[in-house]
Structure 1
Amino acid sequence: MRSSSARLLATAVVTSLTSLALVAAPAATAAPPAAPAVAAKAAAKDKDPFYRYDGSKPLSAYAPGDVLKTRTLTYHFAGIPTPVKAVQLLYRTTDAKGRPAANVTSVVRSIKGDSGKALSYQSFYDSLDPEHAPSRAIAGDVSLGGSIATIESLLLTPALLQGYNLVIPDTEGQEAHFAAGPEYGTNTLDSIRAATRSPETGMGSGTRFGLAGYSGGAIATNWAAALAPAYAPEVDKKLVGFTEGGILANPAHNLKYVGGSLSWGGIIPMAVLGIARSYEIDLKPYLNDYGVKLSAKLERASIINVFAQYPGLSWKKIAKPEYADPNSVPEYVTAVNKVNLGSAATPTVPGYIVQGNAGIGEGTFSNHPGIGRGDGVMVTGDVQALARQYCDTGNTAITYKQHNFLGHFGAAVPWMPTGLAWLNDRFEGKPAPSDCDRIPEGNSLEPQKPAPRS
């Protein structure tokens, strides 16, 4: 086992250079194809039949978390096989509209043979293309968007070497519902259910879990922690805590915050497309010609395709004049309130939350004084408010760490090792520390209200 661990670490270091080269490649080399409709579904390609549920019974006949298919394969880094094996499970889950769906998770068994502790790691692969999901990178598929999941494998190496079982769900589902937080949460919780029901994973009812994720992975992590008590109470009892950084709390604020940003403007059409896709909203009537063309271009885009490539982009630049205020779009208001963490339940387990506050390429936030500063894409006041809300409404401890000199990418560097150390203490039964008496009040997380058309 130890020799396999050493080879894993060595392979990860070498192949990360390949992954970084992929990330740095011009986005034009992987331009997404145009789509005929703004809210069209992006079903995964059928080249791998494992992802298709083809059973005789309807999905609704299965309980959430039931295993539908199982396979064991070699864990890949940038398409290169390693000595590590992964068990992949196709399982039944629930989509954003409450319907039965099938999804995939990947499990790496503890190299120490420990069945008692597991890390559910939620990736920040942030994409509108199902082909960029972690499970596909693990299976050996190489793609520009999938390189993010490859790089993240380096972050998981310390946890693997410490004896954790790793569970890595495709949090966005098989239609890549980017930014649809509640679906991220159900996909994550049902992934844990599936991992403990499958005999091939070595885990079971006695396995305890820690949740971890940054940025897009934090969306899944926080929503899973918030939904667990009602949606998966038996999973909630297995959780020791959640650790996250760069969380999206109130998306309506983020839409304004990144508007006009030199770096993050391109995330606007991606997030709007993802939420529209998950709730089956046709945005075309509200978009101007440029917005329709851009939406078609980005229909299968990864964050790699938009970061720093649409400087100054804002909602107003893609919407018709009469819909310059996004709150004048009724469907938008309904959907954005559904993905507002401030309206979700309070987790019952302790949390460790990290947030940067030195935004790079920030948008015209000065035009929105009620929003304030952030890490460039996530709003600090919103994260503070969420942490405070958990302190005020829950019976659990929240640790909040704010890095005033780090942006979104920078704050990820201290988050992973400190978050893992924090989880280690929870598994050892140490009481969780609390910053509840020191967390600022932050912004309002109240739901959005419809606005008249301008």
Structure 2
Amino acid sequence: MLLVFCAGLGAGTGSSAAQSAALPPVPLPSADPFYTPDGPIADLAPGTVIKSRTMTYGSLELATPLTSTQVLYRTTDQAGGPSATVATILRPLVPGPPRLISYHMAYDALGSECDPSYTLTGNGAPGRAAIAEQGVIGGYLAAGYTVVVPDYEGPDLEWTIGRQSGYAALDGVRATIDHVGLPASTPVGLAGYSGGSVPTQWGAEVAPSYAPELNIVGAAAGGLPVNIAHNLPYVSGSATWAGVIPALVVAYQRAYGIDTDSFLSDYGRQLVETVSSQCINAFAADYPGLTDAQMVRLPYTSLLDIPAVVSAIGDNVMGTTGTPRVPMLLAVGNLDGIGDSVMVTADVAGLAHEYCTRGVAVTYAQYDRLGHSEAFVPFQAQTAQFLTDRFAGLAPTSNCQGS
């Protein structure tokens, strides 16, 4: 399957010098009127396409001969209100039978220049993870799948916020089926790693109540932040991941209106302001040794001392809202006996076991001696086989006892 991905990087993106051309100028999403509905959307059904356009599909500031379709569609925010976001629809050059993958990039963004709808045009400065994920997408296109890539963090870039990420993924599928004219029964696979695991897992969890009509055949999520209350102390003081702490403050303040001035230290406010429009490759490793305690002022010693923060985190604990009705692949690395350096291994194993006790067919995969970035490769290979089997209608396996 890795060979498919490597082939797809060329076949799916058309990125050779002979095939590429200079990119046309594209405004940032924050300055692009396409991203804003022209009128009220509350009366529109979730998944309704509001606008659409054809865009260049590019990579690393080079255009390719391929094009994508972007759709602005109605979805639902964390509080249950109407919202709108954009998805990028990619059609294979050699279509197979109707099959759709909702691929969730780990764009982990606080600024709109990180949106997949922007970086997949070849613009911006995507990190190595985004470049690798474009290769994965190319592999699925080369295999004949239609792929939809939603900007699942929504218009305000609310990173790691659970239900609304799942809603955005499911509504992106609805929008794609309607706009492309796929049969309503089209089989759908959900996939995502790290930040992309959030819409994948939450999409599977809320689908039975939110989008029961979709024919989802499987969901593969790797490197999951199951409970941020456990991730915060794990990354506190980290040499490579401590920068996610102020970024999480930004995301939760946006989603829940938390009064951060009431508890942040002067240094914490400075960091929050600095990262508030950045992508993860700009902030994750930029503050080595930063601790949770440095973010707050006395009498607080941790963000977890703040009731509003604890409440918001509790609203985003995976496994607490619903039960998937589809086979799941849940995977995580285990570098140090605790986690993969940012995700907690026992949390992912515990989620897998919990789902198993509820009757979900779960494959749990643990990549020992691999960190978060390194586990990306075996996860993508395992996901490709997992989804191939699901689309083929093979009976799912489960290793509940092993989880």
| Normalised TM-score (structure 1) | 0.82
Counterpart pick for 1:407 among 371, 376, 391: 371
Equivalent residue for 2:4? none
Q: Counterparts of 1:74 and 1:60 in 2: how far apart (Å)?
A: 31
Equivalent residue for 1:143? 125
Superposed counterparts of 1:34-433, under 5 Å? 44-46=29-31, 48-55=32-39, 58-114=40-96, 116-144=98-126, 148-198=129-179, 201-235=180-214, 238-359=215-336, 373-393=338-358, 395-433=359-397
Q: Counterparts of 1:354 and 1:334 in 2: how far apart (Å)?
A: 27
| Change beyond 3 A, Cα 1:5–1:274 | closer
Contact 2:13 2:64 in 1 (8 A): no
- CA displacement, residues 273-324 of structure 1 (integer Å, 9 cap, x when unaligned): 1122112222111101101111111111111112222111121011012121
SS of 1:342's equivalent in the other structure is: coil
Q: Counterparts of 1:5 and 1:401 in 2: how far apart (Å)?
A: 25
The amino acid that maps onto 1:170 is D
Deviates further, 120-129 or 340-349: 340-349
Equivalent residue for 2:402? 438
Q: Counterparts of 1:121 and 1:90 in 2: how far apart (Å)?
A: 17
Displacement of 1:181: 1.6
Displacement of 1:139: 2.9
Q: Counterparts of 2:348 and 2:259 in 1: how far apart (Å)?
A: 30
Contact 2:8 2:136 in 1 (8 A): no
Displacement of 1:113: 2.6
Q: Counterparts of 1:99 and 1:408 in 2: how far apart (Å)?
A: 34
Displacement of 1:157: 1.6
Equivalent residue for 1:8? 11
Q: Counterparts of 2:376 and 2:389 in 1: how far apart (Å)?
A: 20
Displacement of 1:110: 2.9
| Change beyond 3 A, Cα 1:13–1:216 | farther
Equivalent residue for 2:3? none
- CA displacement, residues 154-176 of structure 1 (integer Å, 9 cap, x when unaligned): 11121111110001001111111
The amino acid that maps onto 1:187 is A
Q: Counterparts of 2:85 and 2:195 in 1: how far apart (Å)?
A: 18
- CA displacement, residues 218-246 of structure 1 (integer Å, 9 cap, x when unaligned): 111001000101111112xx100011210
- CA displacement, residues 86-107 of structure 1 (integer Å, 9 cap, x when unaligned): 1110000111222111100011
Q: Counterparts of 1:328 and 1:5 in 2: how far apart (Å)?
A: 47
Q: Counterparts of 1:309 and 1:283 in 2: how far apart (Å)?
A: 22
SS of 2:393's equivalent in the other structure is: coil
SS of 2:101's equivalent in the other structure is: strand
Q: Counterparts of 1:44 and 1:110 in 2: how far apart (Å)?
A: 25
Q: Counterparts of 1:337 and 1:5 in 2: how far apart (Å)?
A: 39
Displacement of 1:44: 4.8
Contact 1:111 1:161 in 2 (8 A): yes
Q: Counterparts of 1:66 and 1:155 in 2: how far apart (Å)?
A: 28
Contact 2:206 2:322 in 1 (8 A): yes
Displacement of 1:326: 2.7
Contact 1:109 1:202 in 2 (8 A): no
Q: Counterparts of 2:111 and 2:13 in 1: how far apart (Å)?
A: 30
| Change beyond 3 A, Cα 1:313–1:6 | closer
- CA displacement, residues 327-354 of structure 1 (integer Å, 9 cap, x when unaligned): 3312111100011103221211001122
Q: Counterparts of 2:321 and 2:9 in 1: how far apart (Å)?
A: 42
- CA displacement, residues 192-227 of structure 1 (integer Å, 9 cap, x when unaligned): 1111111xx242302110000000001110010001
Runs of 5+ consecutive residues of structure 2 not aligned to the other structure: 1-6, 19-27
Q: Counterparts of 1:412 and 1:78 in 2: how far apart (Å)?
A: 21
Q: Counterparts of 1:436 and 1:330 in 2: how far apart (Å)?
A: 35
**Percentage identity across aligned positions?**
38
| Change beyond 3 A, Cα 1:183–1:14 | farther
SS of 2:218's equivalent in the other structure is: strand
Q: Counterparts of 2:313 and 2:269 in 1: how far apart (Å)?
A: 20
| Change beyond 3 A, Cα 1:284–1:111 | same
Contact 2:9 2:139 in 1 (8 A): no
Q: Counterparts of 2:385 and 2:256 in 1: how far apart (Å)?
A: 37
Contact 2:101 2:145 in 1 (8 A): yes
The amino acid that maps onto 2:43 is A
- CA displacement, residues 16-65 of structure 1 (integer Å, 9 cap, x when unaligned): xxxxxxxxxxxxxxxxxxxxxxxxxxx9522x22111113xx11010110
Q: Counterparts of 1:223 and 1:242 in 2: how far apart (Å)?
A: 10
The amino acid that maps onto 1:64 is P
Runs of 5+ consecutive residues of structure 1 not aligned to the other structure: 16-42, 360-371, 440-454
Contact 2:268 2:294 in 1 (8 A): yes
Contact 1:13 1:154 in 2 (8 A): no
